[in-house]
Structure 1
Amino acid sequence: MSAAEEEQFVQQLQNATTKEAAFRDLVAQNKVKLYYHIRSLVLDHDDTDDILQETFIKAYENIAGFKGNSKLSSWLYRIATNQALDFLKQKSKLQKITSEEYNQQKVDELEADPFFNGDQASILLHQAIATLPEKQQLVFKMRYFQELDYNSISAILDTSVGALKASYHHAVKKIEIFLQAH
């Protein structure tokens, strides 16, 4: 979508008479890629569906405040990322464990998940990712699984491209070391 087309689409989303139809289009255009983004963060299908729904509700409620400082898709990714991270923090807090322990627990449950279609190598990769600090996990998952470019990730996470490249590089090195040891 060109910048002019996106601007027109945002105007439709912010107009009371065209908001409903435009929002249905927004959901249709973004639900699959946001699902996989959220799924890479929370790992559970049912939790992902809930967070995806919350993401679109939040976007619907706040579209009037969208200023166009970033792409609409980056804005949606930021909402989805924040929703997923908040969810993970709440779940770990409820279980009285760290976020890292909760994340490891979800990785351990992947094999039993009927919606997970990976093999043993995928599970090992997820185990390696679970050992990374949160920011490195985010950057790695967005770059590796969603194949987002650094500029898009920068807009979503509100950080510099240089910092993202460094985080990704460190994440890859740590994953390589983990995989060699296992």
Structure 2
Amino acid sequence: MKISPDIPDEELVELAQQSESQEEAFRLIVDRYSPMLYAVIRRVLITHDDTNDALQNTLIKVWKNLGHFEGKSKLSTWMYTIALNEARSLLRRNRPERQLPIETDTYSLAETLTSDPYFDGDEAEIRLMEAIDKLPEKQRTTFELRYFEELPYAEISEITGTSVGALKANYHHATQKLYKYLGVVEDED
């Protein structure tokens, strides 16, 4: 069975839940969402190898649980939630390795980023990533989903289980901390 790549998510999920179209539908889901999931996970885990591990675990969980997906949220929201949980789980498992401060004689986030063969950012991006990494987890997650993924607060609320008001406050505090760290002066309009 050939499935159109433009098929809406709702129909794609239905096809993924039917045995005769399951594999092709899942391949389309992977093609459609892997880049976005990779980006979200990468911002949490920083390294390409850890990100790939978490992405693979995410896709395995999606495959195993797609039959139970009821469509109460968007497919992307459900998958973002799984991806963030996988990234956080990997962070907890690797926590002893990540106990070093951001800048020491032997370690810096910028060094980790620039030594990664998949990283092609410039100095500004490195400084931004360093600043984001210093944010508390809730503020960092809110900022990344809102700023980089351009998700609406309502969807972020579903993903994180946090109220929209708290998310707006997290985003505001995160941007203020980032402005301060980066030395950016906000317009007084």
Spell out the pairing of 1:68-79 with structure 2 (5 A cutoff): 68-79=71-82
Match of 1:34 in 2: 37
Q: Which has the higher contact order (CA 8 A, sep 6+)?
A: 1
Match among 107, 110, 115 for residue 109 of structure 2: 107
Q: In structure 2, how many angstroms separate the alpha carbons of the residues matched to 1:24 and 1:147? A: 25
* TM-score when normalising by structure 2: 0.84
Q: In structure 2, how many angstroms separate the alpha carbons of the residues matched to 1:13 and 1:37? A: 24
- Given that residues 102 and 130 in structure 2 are in contact (C-alpha distance below 8 angstroms), is that contact kept between their aligned partners in structure 1? no
**2:183 is the counterpart of 1:176:** no
Q: In structure 1, how many angstroms separate the alpha carbons of the residues matched to 2:13 and 2:37? A: 18
Match of 1:137 in 2: 140
- Given that residues 42 and 48 in structure 2 are in contact (C-alpha distance below 8 angstroms), is that contact kept between their aligned partners in structure 1? yes
User: Where do 5+ consecutive residues of structure 1 fail to align?
Assistant: none
Pairwise CA RMSD: 2.1
Offset of residue 106 of structure 1: 6.8
The count of residues paired between Structure 1 and Structure 2 equals 174
Match among 137, 152, 156 for residue 153 of structure 1: 156
Q: In structure 1, how many angstroms separate the alpha carbons of the residues matched to 2:11 and 2:32? A: 16
User: Where do 5+ consecutive residues of structure 2 fail to align?
Assistant: 1-6, 185-189
**Secondary structure of the equivalent of 2:150?**
coil
Q: In structure 1, how many angstroms separate the alpha carbons of the residues matched to 2:119 and 2:151? A: 22
Q: In structure 1, how many angstroms separate the alpha carbons of the residues matched to 2:152 and 2:64? A: 28
**Identity level (%):** 44
Match among 56, 65, 74 for residue 53 of structure 1: 56
- Given that residues 91 and 102 in structure 1 are in contact (C-alpha distance below 8 angstroms), is that contact kept between their aligned partners in structure 2? no
Offset of residue 174 of structure 1: 0.8
From the two aligned structures, give the one with the greater helix fraction: 1
Q: In structure 1, how many angstroms separate the alpha carbons of the residues matched to 2:153 and 2:125? A: 24
Match of 1:128 in 2: 131
Offset of residue 78 of structure 1: 0.5
* TM-score when normalising by structure 1: 0.87
Offset of residue 7 of structure 1: 2.9
